[in-house]
Chains A and B, each alone.
Chain A
Amino acid sequence: MTERMRESLSALMDGEADELELERVLKQIGEDGELRATWVRYHAVQAVIGKQAVPDLSIDISAGVRDAIAQPATTGSRRWQGLLRPVAGFAVAASVATTVVLGGQQLASLNGSPATAEADVAMGMAPVGLVNSLGATSVRASFGTQSVPVLQPATGTAYSELARQRMQRFAQEHAEQAALNTPQGMLPFARVQRITE
Chain B
Amino acid sequence: MPRLFPRLPLMTAQARRLSRWLFAVATTTLPAAALAASCPGADPEALKWLDRMSRSSHQAAYHGVVTLQRGEDMQVMQISHSVSGDTTSEQLTKLTGQGARIVREDHPLDCVHTGHRLLQLGAALGAGECGVAEYYRFDVSEGERIAGRQAVRIRVEPLDMYRYGYLMELDRETGLLLKSSTLGRGDLVLERFQFANLSYGSPMPSGADVEVTHEAAHPLPDSAMSTEDLHSGWSVQWLPRGFVLTEADPATRSGRRTFTDGLAAFSVFLEPLSREIRAGEGIAREGSTLSYTRGLSLSDQPVLVTVIGEVPVNTARMVADSVRWAQ
**Interface, chain A (partner B; CB < 8 A):** 67, 74-78, 80-81, 83-84, 87-88, 90-91, 94-95, 98, 127-128, 139, 141-144, 150-154, 156-164, 166-167, 169-174, 176-191, 193-197
In the complex, the chain A residue whose C-beta lies closest to that of B269 is A170
In the complex, the chain A residue whose C-beta lies closest to that of B103 is A186
Most central of B71, B168, B224 by chain A CB within 10 Å: B224
Report how far A179 CA is from B295 CA in the complex, Å. Answer: 28
Partner of B263 from the list A76, A163, A179, A182 (CB cut-off 8 Å) is A182
Report how far A144 CA is from B229 CA in the complex, Å. Answer: 8
Report how far A3 CA is from B66 CA in the complex, Å. Answer: 51
CB distance from A137 to the nearest CB of B (A): 11
Report how far A146 CA is from B92 CA in the complex, Å. Answer: 36
Report how far A52 CA is from B130 CA in the complex, Å. Answer: 56
Is the CB of B82 closer than 8 A to any CB of chain A? no
**Residues in chain A near residue B191, CB distance under 8 A:** 191
The answer to whether B223 and A196 touch across the interface, beta carbons within 8 angstroms, is: no
The answer to whether A174 and B188 touch across the interface, beta carbons within 8 angstroms, is: no
The answer to whether A177 and B287 touch across the interface, beta carbons within 8 angstroms, is: no
How many B residues touch the partner, as a band?
Answer: 35 or more
Contact with A along B208-228 (1 / 0, CB 8 A): 000011111111010110101
Partner of A153 from the list B114, B277, B283, B289 (CB cut-off 8 Å) is B277
In the complex, the chain B residue whose C-beta lies closest to that of A125 is B224
Report how far A179 CA is from B77 CA in the complex, Å. Answer: 15
Is the CB of B115 closer than 8 A to any CB of chain A? yes
In the complex, the chain B residue whose C-beta lies closest to that of A90 is B313
Report how far A139 CA is from B302 CA in the complex, Å. Answer: 15
The answer to whether A178 and B283 touch across the interface, beta carbons within 8 angstroms, is: no
The answer to whether A91 and B57 touch across the interface, beta carbons within 8 angstroms, is: no
The answer to whether B92 and A156 touch across the interface, beta carbons within 8 angstroms, is: no
Contacts A167-B308, A197-B214 aside, 11 further interface pairs with beta carbons under 8 A come to A95-B283, A128-B271, A152-B275, A171-B308, A180-B113, A180-B218, A181-B113, A183-B50, A190-B66, A191-B70, A194-B98
**Residues in chain A near residue B264, CB distance under 8 A:** 182
Is the CB of B278 closer than 8 A to any CB of chain A? yes
CB-CB contacts below 8 Å: B155-175 with A: 161, 168
Partner of B314 from the list A84, A95, A144, A160 (CB cut-off 8 Å) is A84
Contact with A along B278-293 (1 / 0, CB 8 A): 1011111111110111
Contact with A along B35-64 (1 / 0, CB 8 A): 000000000000000100110010000000
Is the CB of B258 closer than 8 A to any CB of chain A? yes
Most central of B269, B285, B293 by chain A CB within 10 Å: B293
**Residues in chain B near residue A183, CB distance under 8 A:** 50, 53-54, 57, 115-116, 119, 168, 177, 180, 262-263
CB distance from A106 to the nearest CB of B (A): 17
The answer to whether B186 and A76 touch across the interface, beta carbons within 8 angstroms, is: yes
CB distance from A125 to the nearest CB of B (A): 9
The answer to whether B90 and A186 touch across the interface, beta carbons within 8 angstroms, is: yes
CB distance from A79 to the nearest CB of B (A): 8
Q: List 21 A-B contacts (CB under 8 A).
A: A75-B186, A77-B186, A87-B313, A91-B285, A143-B274, A162-B295, A162-B304, A164-B284, A166-B306, A167-B286, A170-B291, A170-B308, A172-B214, A174-B309, A180-B219, A185-B90, A185-B177, A189-B214, A190-B92, A191-B68, A191-B191
CB-CB contacts below 8 Å: B250-285 with A: 256, 258, 260, 262-267, 269, 271, 273-275, 277-278, 280-285
Report how far A156 CA is from B98 CA in the complex, Å. Answer: 31
The answer to whether residues A187 and B282 also contact, given A127-B271, A163-B292 and a CB cut-off of 8 A, is no
In the complex, the chain A residue whose C-beta lies closest to that of B70 is A191
**Residues in chain B near residue A178, CB distance under 8 A:** 258, 260, 265, 309-310
Is the CB of B153 closer than 8 A to any CB of chain A? no
**Residues in chain B near residue A195, CB distance under 8 A:** 94, 98, 100, 102, 212, 214
The answer to whether A179 and B119 touch across the interface, beta carbons within 8 angstroms, is: no
The answer to whether B260 and A181 touch across the interface, beta carbons within 8 angstroms, is: yes
Report how far A185 CA is from B306 CA in the complex, Å. Answer: 24
The answer to whether B282 and A94 touch across the interface, beta carbons within 8 angstroms, is: yes
In the complex, the chain A residue whose C-beta lies closest to that of B111 is A180
The answer to whether A181 and B185 touch across the interface, beta carbons within 8 angstroms, is: no
Report how far A151 CA is from B289 CA in the complex, Å. Answer: 24
CB distance from B38 to the nearest CB of A (A): 23
Partner of A185 from the list B79, B114, B217, B294 (CB cut-off 8 Å) is B79
CB distance from B283 to the nearest CB of A (A): 5
The answer to whether B186 and A80 touch across the interface, beta carbons within 8 angstroms, is: yes
Partner of B289 from the list A91, A171, A181 (CB cut-off 8 Å) is A171
